[in-house]
Amino acid sequence: MPMQLEDITIPSRMHVNWNTDMNKGIQQITPPGITNKVRRTPANSALPDGEVITIVTNGANDEIAAQAALRLEQEGIPAKVVHGRYVANSEAHRSGETSDGVSAFLILDPDYEGTATGASLPDLSKTSKSTRTVSSLRLDPAPADTSPTHRSNQSRVDRIVQTVRSFKQKDLPHQRVRPDAHNRFDSAGSGRDAISKEFWKRPEIGEQFELSEDLLQRELDLVKAARLSDEVEAFFDAYSQVGDRTRFLWQWCVHGAELTTISNVAPQWRRHVCDTKVLSIMLCVLMDDVADEQGNQPLLEVLMKIIEGQPTPAMQSFSATDRRTAEVTQYLSQIYERRISEYPLHDVYKRLLEFDLMQYFNTMRYSCLLNENLSLLNVTEHELYLPHAMHMMSFSTLDLMCTPEFDVHELGRFREAIWHAQCMGRVGNLLSTWEREIEQTDFTSGVFARAVIKGDLNVDQLNASDAPAIEAAILGGGHEQYFLNRWHEHRECLKTKLAEIHSVDLHGFVEAQERFFRMHLACRGAI
């Protein structure tokens, strides 16, 4: 059998660059070994075993190839690593053993001694009917004095990943929905009709984005198939003592966290970070319900103080339900603090995370103000405050706490990219929740703000909760379409950052945001 880096632990030799104080200079730090285990097929993949990209290495670039394969797998492109000496010298490839089920070969540094040479390429391309592409990539070493070791290694990993992405679509393994996937989530399950016709109108903005029912169905099936980890199950049990959101929401959150976490997060921390994000969402849902549904400003202030780690105020004047909500919030908040304190770069980004969370608290205060006085509604402040309700800035900071290879010099550009992604997420959220929010008399969504500003609705109609009139005004005024156009604009801005950020991979992140948007629409009315 060909050698595969399936169970081999590769200690990282990369020097990583980060700011250890955020006020002091940049320091070079060599972290302990990182375990990279490249599986032939990801555990959550619906692909048949064997349909993979094979990266052929030469011995000198095994670690770089393994890191690239890991990132490809995190993007849903199964990859394996095979040593070139085996491919060049073994009889196996001539009998098809090496290439059975392989979607494409990528040979690194083909002229390196011991690696599959140019003469081997035609043989590889003919050994299996399932092999479609054989390509090669020369990884020229960067001069030692022009870039830190981790930067040059990272650039090679980036080049491998980008080369695989550039293969023709037909040459890449395709993710498939399993035959036993759940039935379609229809209006009987969501309480809402199918997506309105406005969504199928393509705005003339930038590159077209496919929004078909098949793609929405695929995301819905993946949400329904999501499983809560034991840790998230425990969080859910505690939350359910005071909250009434269903398991489906947390399945949705689990899938969304896994999808949108940047691929460069250290593998041993990835599952932990995703679960921490779901825990963070539970805490935010507790506050969101207090702010938007109850309009309980005093309780909201107590919950925010608890999450900030301040002493819990006296609560004798609060109801028993409110006191229990505070107790559950404190319990979950303490777990959250313990979890994030374990992250390798927690101390580096702690103050930034605190700042991100303050923006969310400010959004909750703004929501309370809006629901107290709907005359405040306007699109400008909606787009300034409400995107923070998506938590993506704070989530990206959690990612950085577990991403030693990130170059802090790119922090500003990285956060600008995340801001656009957060705005994209907010559009998906408001398009999928505004109908439900009419019933809850929660009018903080941007579609209500724009309808009021454009004169299609007035505050009296909102205060009267005239649901048919409100819904007709939103649909008839093109307010959904306006925000869909805004989503496209933010998407184009996010894509411009791809060439500016090199220490983390944003190509897969852009694709993840597109899928995240489909996730929202697929679950319209149910989250």
Q: Are residues 379 and 247 in the same domain?
A: yes
Q: What is the pLDDT of residue 210?
A: 72
Domain boundary among 171, 189, 222: 171
CATH code of residue 348: 1.10.600.10
Q: Are residues 223 and 112 in the same domain?
A: no
Q: Are residues 227 and 138 in the same domain?
A: no
Q: pLDDT higher for 88 or 518? A: 518
In-domain check, residue 313: yes
DSSP code at position 255:
H
Question: Quick check: 341 pLDDT over 90?
Answer: yes
pLDDT bracket for residue 152 (50, 70, 90): low
In-domain check, residue 189: no
In-domain check, residue 201: no
pLDDT in tens, 37-82: 322 333 333 333 345 778 887 666 777 888 888 777 666 677 778 7
In-domain check, residue 179: no
pLDDT bracket for residue 319 (50, 70, 90): very high
In-domain check, residue 399: yes
In-domain check, residue 1: no
Distance between CA 354 and CA 351 in Å, rounded? 5
pLDDT bracket for residue 253 (50, 70, 90): very high
Question: Quick check: 96 pLDDT over 80?
Answer: no
Average pLDDT, the chain: 76
Distance between CA 353 and CA 33 in Å, rounded? 26
Question: Quick check: 447 pLDDT over 90?
Answer: yes
Q: Which of 117-121, 311-315, 364-368 has the highest mean pLDDT?
A: 364-368
Q: Are residues 122 and 238 in the same domain?
A: no
Q: What is the pLDDT of residue 407?
A: 95
Question: Quick check: 357 pLDDT over 90?
Answer: yes
In-domain check, residue 459: yes
What's the average model confidence in pLDDT over 407-432?
Answer: 97
What's the average model confidence in pLDDT over 94-115?
Answer: 55
From residue 231, how far is each of 227, 239, 275 by CA, in Å? 11, 12, 7
Q: Are residues 340 and 476 in the same domain?
A: yes
Burial class (CB in 10 A: 0-12, 13-18, 19+), 124: buried
Q: What is the pLDDT of residue 295?
A: 76
pLDDT bracket for residue 283 (50, 70, 90): very high
Closest CA relative to residue 449, chosen from 477, 487, 407: 477
CATH code of residue 164: 3.40.50.920
Q: What is the pLDDT of residue 164?
A: 79
Question: Quick check: 13 pLDDT over 90?
Answer: no
Count of domains in the chain?
A: 2
Closest CA relative to residue 436, chosen from 471, 481, 475, 477: 471
What's the average model confidence in pLDDT over 432-446?
Answer: 93
Q: Are residues 315 and 447 in the same domain?
A: yes
Question: Quick check: 519 pLDDT over 70?
Answer: yes
Question: Quick check: 342 pLDDT over 50?
Answer: yes
pLDDT bracket for residue 448 (50, 70, 90): very high
Q: For the whole prediction, is pTM greater than 0.95?
A: no
Q: Are residues 277 and 156 in the same domain?
A: no
Q: Are residues 508 and 460 in the same domain?
A: yes
Instruction: Phi first, then psi: give them for residue 313, nearest 5 degrees.
Output: -65, 160
From residue 489, how far is each of 44, 200, 493 by CA, in Å? 32, 17, 6
In-domain check, residue 161: yes
Question: Quick check: 168 pLDDT over 80?
Answer: no
The domain of 167 spans: 16-171
Q: What is the pLDDT of residue 75?
A: 63
pLDDT in tens, 111-135: 544 444 444 444 554 444 444 567 7
**Ranges of H-type helices in 114-212:** 120-126, 149-166, 187-190
Question: Quick check: 29 pLDDT over 50?
Answer: no
Distance between CA 514 and CA 491 in Å, rounded? 8
Letter for the amino acid at 374?
Answer: L
From residue 69, how far is each of 57, 75, 103, 156, 474 by CA, in Å? 12, 10, 14, 12, 46
Residue 491 Cα to chain centre, angstroms: 14
Q: What is the pLDDT of residue 523?
A: 93
Q: Which residues contact 44 (CB under 8 A, 6 or more apart)?
A: none
Helix 507-522 / helix 479-496 crossing angle, nearest 10 deg: 160
Distance between CA 38 and CA 67 in Å, rounded? 8
Letter for the amino acid at 180?
Answer: D
